[in-house]
Amino acid sequence: MLVLVVGLGVYLGYLNHLINSRFVGDTWALPSRVFARAAELYPGLPLSAEQLIYELELSSFLAVFAEPMPGQYRQLGESLELHTRPFDFGDQLQPAKTIQVFFERGRISAITDSRNGADLQLFRLPPVILGSYYPDNDEDRLLLSEAEVPQSLIDALIAVEDRGFYDHSGLSPMAIARAMMANIKAGKAVQGGSTLTQQLAKNLFLTPEKSLLRKFNEAFMALILELRFSKRAIITAYINEVFLLQQKRIAIHGFAQASRMLFKRSVDSLQPQQLALLVGMVKGPSRYNPFAAPQRALERRNLVLKIMYQQGLLTEDEYASAVEAALGIVKRLPGVNPFPAYLDLVKRQLQSSYSSDELAQRGLRVFTAFDPLLQRNLELGLARGLQGFNQPELQAAVVIADYLNGDIQALVGDRITDYPGFNRALMAQRPIGSLIKPLLLYGLLEENLTLASKIKDEPIRIQQSNGNVWEPGNYDRKLHGEMSLYQAFIHSYNLPFVQLGIGKGLESLADNLAKIKLLKHEVVYPSMLLGTTSMSAYEVSQMYQVIANNGYFTPLTTIRSVADQDNHTLARIPLESHKLFDQASMIQVQRAMIGVGEKGTARYLNQRFAGRTLAAKTGTTNELRDSWFAGFSQRLLAVVWLGRDDNSSINLTGSSGALRVWSEIMDLQGFESFKLSRDDNLAWRHINPEDGGISRESCTNSVLLPFPKDRIPTTRSRCQ
């Protein structure tokens, strides 16, 4: 007997240890949450009612017709009235507030406080939650704390699954006996006698196998859970843990996540029929899957509604209305996280910027630069652009950033933007082609050349160290004679840049890539002059951030700040911004990039966005395997890559492929024209780009370019 008692004690201690490892430490109540930027609303802001509704619904605001409660909004003519929930921004605790936002011609015209009618000059909208996860196991779940679980969900779940939940101590002998009788009568297993606590124990710690040992473990664990934790804690853990859906290879656990995915709503805003469908799916997620078996799911939902009515959880009118309602689910089950590529980068940057001890804390609040409206325009523009190519296997990666402060505001790593697979924006390393030329041009300008310098487009043969001969050519396979460096750049001719680069140009290019930590190889080959270096879209964005920002390097980041559960900010990532390159030379590069969009390989921009100024560069790799485009307006930098995962030809150049996608995105987003900075070391002159000579402004093909004051062209060109 003593041996049995000691053995049982050791065994129970082991089960208790398992429970401690998973259940103790605020595991369920305090997930780490990642937030988008907080939208600042003010009169004059370019924002339509439709755009604001999109962001509100991402935050699970519910549209109503009566006066809105917290988390609700309604349309009143040309205005929106919304009732926000309280939110702690760190520097300000904003209470729940009801405001009315008025719109006129696509802009906010006024904001008023609904309680007293006072005008508001600024209102911060609580940010959208991008996702929740645990840094120690990299899970991504949307979890509810005890206070966040709606009572209606608890009542419905108990009414259907375990009516004696508040009376038993983990096991229900009556339920077990009732199940045994039903199974004996049917001659097979048709009913289970497990309580919600037993189901939680099974879900958390045990396998789904049907055996006496598993039932034995399940029973003892249920007793330990009931002994150590409150009923509220147990039901909350169950609501967060229960398996409800399967999205491809990912199992969806928890009512909060399933509600967002099936109905695009938070659990506290579900209608009775929606709540009943989720509760009904607990019994058999596969059997009652509303996509695979809609009729069976409807019947199960209506049975749950009947039980809720019989238990007094619904009135007769509510029950009649709910039973007649359609399932009301989304047409296509979205990804677990609607923005997986961005959240992936957030997690990577958290791990590289904060200590493991800091990230191990529960309840972290991660504030990012993510802009939901810009991301929406990116996704819509990408879909429109890809539609024109009719290539289902064509893949894409896009990065959009504010090049002044380094904020990455939107990002996709797959043409199916909510698919959490291979993140091509970060992981796909592909040759960048002519996207290397702006940095190469910078090095040449530093070597005392100017945009007006005369160069020749002629054949070249280079003997390499391994004995092979490299004979590069232009993309159009033609020779174009003598021209200015500016002309060669905007048309992206290869041979002139190889001619110039085999001297100090190659060495300076390697040095400049090393400065921004993008030199990938210790051995530098001449072919690097034509962009054989492989980079990801994220790395290309970092290179162009320096170019767009007048030579000032700012690391691209998603993270603005990280705070603990008490809103104490952790050690911030230091904001770097230091000068790496000469501003005057970089302004000359920017002016040449403007020419690419005016009359060069990206002249489509001049047709699409006539009257607006953009700086741009196209990139195409051998055999048309990769299509690249990088361009920037005032503050906004966007990089687009198109290609196939098997690296086969896509038959698209940078201008016929990525440029078109880029243009669709920027057209939807809207932008300010890029403005070149003033620099007193530069003088501006009109030249003839054909020969680099000074010309008059009235000349047909003259172009206004900047020059260092000690290197202004002296030759004159005949005016046409």
Rounded to an integer, what distance in angstroms lies between the CA atom of residue 218 and that of residue 430? 52
- Nearest CA among 307, 310, 313 for reference residue 280: 307
- Nearest CA among 141, 148, 125, 144 for reference residue 58: 125
Rounded to an integer, what distance in angstroms lies between the CA atom of residue 265 and that of residue 255? 11
The two three-digit tokens of residue 46, written as one number: 């370019």
Per the CB < 8 A criterion, the answer to whether 164 and 175 are in contact is yes
Alpha carbon separation from 63 to 55, 141, 255, 270, 323 (Å, rounded): 12, 25, 21, 12, 21
Please list the active-site residues. Answer: 161, 434
The stretches of 135-229 forming alpha helices (DSSP H) are 151-161, 173-186, 196-205, 212-228
- The SS3 of residue 573 is coil
Rounded to an integer, what distance in angstroms lies between the CA atom of residue 436 and that of residue 606? 22
Partners of 39 in beta bridges = 125
Rounded to an integer, what distance in angstroms lies between the CA atom of residue 717 and that of residue 32? 65
620 phi-psi bin (left φ>0, alpha ψ -120 to 50, beta other): beta
Per the CB < 8 A criterion, the answer to whether 94 and 87 are in contact is yes
Determine phi and psi for 231, rounding to 5 degrees: -60, -40
Q: Which residues are within 8 A (CB) of 568 and not within 5 positions of it... i.e. 6 or more apart?
A: none
CA dihedral (513, 515, 521, 525) positive or negative: positive
Which H/E stretch holds residue 82?
strand 79-84
Q: Provide the CA 217 distance to its chain's centre, in angstroms.
A: 42
* Tally of CB atoms within 10 A around 667: 14
> What DSSP character marks residue 81?
E
Per the CB < 8 A criterion, the answer to whether 234 and 146 are in contact is no
Which H/E stretch holds residue 607?
helix 604-608
The stretches of 448-562 forming alpha helices (DSSP H) are 485-490, 494-500, 506-515, 537-548
What is the three-state SS of 225-280? Answer: HHHHCCHHHHHHHHHHHCEEEEECCEEEECHHHHHHHHHCCCHHHCCHHHHHHHHH
* Tally of CB atoms within 10 A around 683: 14
